[in-house]
Structure 1
Amino acid sequence: MSATTVAGAAKAAVTKSSPSTNTVYLFRHIQTSQVLVSLKNSVEKQSLKQITDVTRRPPHVRPDHWHPLVAIQGFSRPQDALSFHNSLRDHQLNLHSVKVADKEHMTQPRRLRAPQEMNQVDSTLVKMVELLNTHPTIKANQGKGLHILWERDGVRKQILEKEGLSLLEGIEHGDLIVKRGRDIANA
């Protein structure tokens, strides 16, 4: 057996054994409502770079402060999950610059601006729904095979009703099972 055959078999085994490569996770900070997007089922230090305002960025990751918000499973290929992750992460990176560019927002006192700048849950979930509805691969399949696990069903209903949004018909919904406050059990 050649070295390339062995390497190819090892790569295929890794891909089959790690189903999380086709899952995108969103985590929210329990105190500030900041949101991080990840391809892993936990938050790592490098994920903090998504918070571009260094005055609002936590200095290190405290796992007990980051709670799973949403897990999106069932992307047909890891490349689809990665492109969706990157699109959502780019939205996160631009959130702060959009708020700073708003003159009306900047005229408010800092004590009033800070909570508004850190509250990213609603805008991120709205963007997630928009991206799911416009992602070419998901749209082509009408959402079939995609499964969204929500922290609470009330979060899903609130976002969809508040913004008047709807998801593709084929997308299934479920509850995200979390143990010990932060460990995802079913994704």
Structure 2
Amino acid sequence: MSAAVSGAAKSAATTTAQSAKKNTVYLFRHIQTSQVLVSLKSSIEKQSLKQIADVTRRPAHVRPDHWHPLVAIQGFSRPQDALSFHNSLRDHQLNLHAAKVANPEHIAQPRRLRAPQEMNQVDSTLVKMVELLNNQPNKGKGMQILWEREGVRKSVLEKEGEDVKPLLEGFEHGELVIKRGRDIVNA
């Protein structure tokens, strides 16, 4: 009888872990260009590259050794909340490029100066992430933000100042455990 109970408990624990994984949003950064991709999976797929609007700046294929996990946000109460958050961040990425291209001062710069500015998406994406997390219905209750390293979290605090500190204090924070430089172990 105890084997059946432990099997049922194991099955329930596996189901809970799988549903928690479905309610996780991942951000990945390109180690050379600082571009950011948002994913609902713990790895990058080729279709994720469509988030990079400028075709000339888009890698031809996914090289897993070039995309490093940046942040994992766990604990969305429903899969729909995670999907909505994912879509909002993805739309931000697309709009960010459109806004830069529409700016005449930006376009007036030589291409060699424009390119790094257009590809550097880490700071703006993290600021938008914090803004979107502030609008979540459960706003920190049971949610955890796993950071690539503590320095990334501190850089967000320095960018936004006092507006971000109360939000980030309402969430549980941890460090992403990464194996082989790119495989997420704890999210």
- The TM-score range, normalised by the shorter chain, is 0.7 to 0.9
Distance 1:99 1:15, change over 3 A: farther
- The separation in 2 between residues aligned to 1:34 and 1:96, in whole angstroms, is 11
Deviations 1:39-71 (A, max 9, x none): 000000000000010000000000000000000
Match of 2:47 in 1: 46
Match of 2:148 in 1: 151
> 148, 156, 160: which is aligned to 2:157?
160
Helix, strand or coil: the match of 1:64? coil
Match of 1:172 in 2: 172
**Mean Cα displacement is larger for which, 93-102 or 33-42?**
93-102
Q: For residue 162 of structure 1, report the CA deviation from its aligned partner.
A: 2.2
Match of 2:21 in 1: 20
- The separation in 2 between residues aligned to 1:24 and 1:88, in whole angstroms, is 10
Match of 1:62 in 2: 63
Distance 1:14 1:185, change over 3 A: closer
The answer to whether the aligner puts 1:184 opposite 2:184 as a matched pair is yes
**Mean Cα displacement is larger for which, 44-53 or 88-97?**
88-97
The number of residues matched between the two structures is 172
Q: For residue 16 of structure 1, report the CA deviation from its aligned partner.
A: 4.1
Helix, strand or coil: the match of 2:170? coil
CA contact (8 A) 1:56 1:118 kept: yes
- The separation in 1 between residues aligned to 2:40 and 2:48, in whole angstroms, is 10
Match of 1:111 in 2: 112
Gaps in structure 2 of 5+ consecutive residues: 1-11
- The separation in 1 between residues aligned to 2:14 and 2:149, in whole angstroms, is 32
- The separation in 1 between residues aligned to 2:14 and 2:172, in whole angstroms, is 27
The answer to whether the aligner puts 1:87 opposite 2:88 as a matched pair is yes
Deviations 1:101-158 (A, max 9, x none): 11111110000000000000000000000000122x133xxx1100000001111011
Distance 1:15 1:80, change over 3 A: farther
Gaps in structure 1 of 5+ consecutive residues: 1-11
The residue type equivalent to 2:181 in the other structure is: G
**Mean Cα displacement is larger for which, 16-25 or 86-95?**
16-25
**Mean Cα displacement is larger for which, 76-85 or 15-24?**
15-24
Match of 1:6 in 2: none
Match of 1:3 in 2: none
Q: TM-score, normalised by structure 1?
A: 0.87
The residue type equivalent to 1:162 in the other structure is: K
Match of 1:7 in 2: none
The residue type equivalent to 1:132 in the other structure is: L
The answer to whether the aligner puts 1:77 opposite 2:66 as a matched pair is no
Deviations 1:68-111 (A, max 9, x none): 00000011111111111111111011111010011111110000
